[in-house]
Amino acid sequence: MQKMSLDAKAREHLERAAASSTGRSAETVYGGHEHLLRQTLITLRAGTCLAEHENPGEATVLVLRGRVRLASGDDSWEGRTGDLLVVPSARHSLEAVEDTAALLTVVKTP
């Protein structure tokens, strides 16, 4: 059994994102390429965007801090601290409206 503080990791990665020229930082906290389930802590400075990309499988975004906008085509959804967004299976992007820490959970389709 492993235990970690996502709150502490979020603080650490928000500092890294603030110092980074890209305005973001990420760490896989569970899973990886050898697992079907993968959970990644993503931190973004306000105004930073993950450009439109494909969804590798079923996915959700749990907003731990801040506010994000998830967009797919003409649709968009905002998520705030504590919100869970279901990522559409279509191409999509994620923009930080405020400095944000979020947990991306993906189950890859076989």
Domain boundaries in the chain? 6-108
pLDDT band at 109 (very low <50, low <70, confident <90, very high): confident
Token digits of residue 32 = 């990886």
Whether the model clears a pTM of 0.85, i.e. scores above it, the answer is yes
Q: What is the pLDDT of residues 14-47, one digit of tens each?
A: 999 999 999 999 999 999 778 889 999 999 999 9
Is 6-108 assigned to CATH 2.60.120.10? yes
